[in-house]
Structures are given as C-alpha cells and as structure tokens.
Structure 1
C-alpha cells in the first residue's frame, strides 16, 4: 500500500544555491513556515547519516518526526544533485527525494514524496482507503508551499 506524489518547479537560482537551502537543516524552521522547530541529532554538515527531529503542525496538531538523510549527491557541472530523506512514523515509511537539475541559468527542482505502510493490517488498509487520498492532498499542499519557500530563499541568496 503505497501513496506517492511528485511536484516540480523552476527556481531562478543556481543548483548550488538551491542545494544550500535544502541542505540547511538547522535553518529550515526559518525558511519553511510549516516547520515549527528542528533539533539536530548528529554533528557535521549535510550528508548521508545526518539525523534530526522536525516538528510540524498539521490540522492543529504538532507532530515530531525523526528524519535522516539516506542519500546525498550535491549538484555539479557534470550531473544533477539528488538527496533522499527518510522517516519512520506510526507504522509508515516516508521517503522524500529532491532532484536539482540546471536549466536556463536556474534549477528545475523536483520533489517526490512517498508513504508506504510497513506492515499493513486490515485496519490500516481500511484507513488508507478512507483517508489516504485526503492525507495525500493535504501533504501535497504542504509540499507545494515548501517548494515555493525553498525557491524564494534560494532566489534571495
């Protein structure tokens, strides 16, 4: 049982600037209006293994989720940049993947988000059938706002 959505946006900033915004986990609460707070759990710069707790408020309820970078390849002249962030929460495996590709002096930024129930039960299957579409619609709106705010920050650098 898998739910997935993809959003894309052209950003009028270089892939390096977009990467700087995406990889600034400690500063994400200042950049993204949907993020209430971030607590770093690992030291050092952004890369595979970087861990943090992120608190967001959705539907009036604050949720804190532990997240980690499972893959990170900064953009270069030879290739697009990609990074994948994972989280496990409430029996679901969440994956967020960013792809940054240079185009026309800016960056095509693509975000793919997926949620998969790890061990689906009959109840979880029924709940996903009833509420999965509503939840993904809300998630899609939140992610679209995140992309817009990432673009605005990168364009201001």
Structure 2
C-alpha cells in the first residue's frame, strides 16, 4: 500500500500574516483548535525547521498523542510538519496563498506513507470512512483557525 493523501482548502477572511501567526503559535494552539487538548513544546525559540512538540488530539473518541516536527518553514507562505507512528510517516503541508488584502486561501494536505511494521492503522485511517474522518478533522481545524482570525483585524484597517 503506497502513500495516501487528503487535501482540504478554505478561504479565510484575514491576511496571510495573521493566519500564519494563528497556525504556528504552538502555545496558543489549544485555544485555537478545538480538536487539540494539549500541546507540549519540546524546543526553544521561534517556530521554524527543527521545532518539535507533542500534540494530544481527540480522534475517534479517544486522546492520541503524537510527537511532531517542522521540516519546512517559509513564513508566511508554507510549512510542513512530520510525525511517525504506528508504522507510518505522516506529513502535513500547510500552504497559505494571499487572496486579496485581507483574505488568504489555506490548503492543508495530509499524507500517510507506510514505513514498515503494522500498516493496519494506516489502512483504517485513510480508507473510506477514515479518509472522510481525516477530511472532516482538517476542515474543522481550518474552520477553527478562520474563527480565531476573522474579524480580529477588521477594525484595524488595511494591513
């Protein structure tokens, strides 16, 4: 079984910089993303390549904790986060494209590739129902980010 991926895109009514800040503020992630219950940052310094954290998220009715790390960071346009778990490598790529002065198209692409060992979880996660659940979780994250940033800078005028 090869790599499987899911992509979700959403137009957010906020500038690229504000969206980048909301997505990369690890210490504020629990307040922004309703699916995330705990974040433990493991590295010091600003968000960038090499930043690592442990994220606990409610998935399929239970808490799952994964250690993640940033492998690409091109502020405020793109970053890539990876994780390895249950015999699979997970890659989440976030692309932020300006869509006017106070709008940004956010596209998140999640892919899972077996690395050996048990790929049963991968099959369950990315097959049929699992793929819909992953797509729904990503869409919820994007809705949460939009809710956090839209209107935040509305009274500040043009950026």
The answer, yes or no, to whether TM exceeds 0.5 is yes
* Gap runs ≥5 in structure 2: 153-159
Aligned-partner Cα distance in 2 for 1:127–1:56: 17
The structure-2 alpha-carbon separation of the partners of 1:131 and 1:14, relative to structure 1 and needing over 3 Å to count, comes to closer
Partner of 2:99: 103
Match status 1:58 vs 2:72: no
Measured against aligned partners, the alpha-carbon deviations of 1:52-100 in whole angstroms (never above 9, x if no partner) come to 000011122111100011110012xxxxx00001110111100001111
Tell me the distance in 1 between the aligned counterparts of 2:35 and 2:125. 25
**2:157 aligned partner:** none
Tell me if 1:115 matches 2:89: no
Q: TM-score normalized by structure 2?
A: 0.87
Structure 1 residue 130, shift from structure 2 partner: 9.5
Cα 1:130–1:48, aligned 2, differ >3 Å: closer, same or farther? closer
Q: Paired residues, what number?
A: 150
SS for the counterpart of 2:108 is: strand
Q: How far does the alpha carbon of each residue in 1:84-130 deviate from its partner, in whole angstroms, 9 at most, with x for none?
A: 01110111100001111111221111111101111266xx3697279
- Contact 2:23 2:145 (C-alpha < 8 Å) held by counterparts: yes
Distance of 1:30 and 1:135 partners within structure 2: 26
What root-mean-square deviation, in Å, do the aligned CA atoms of Structure 1 and Structure 2 show?
A: 2.0
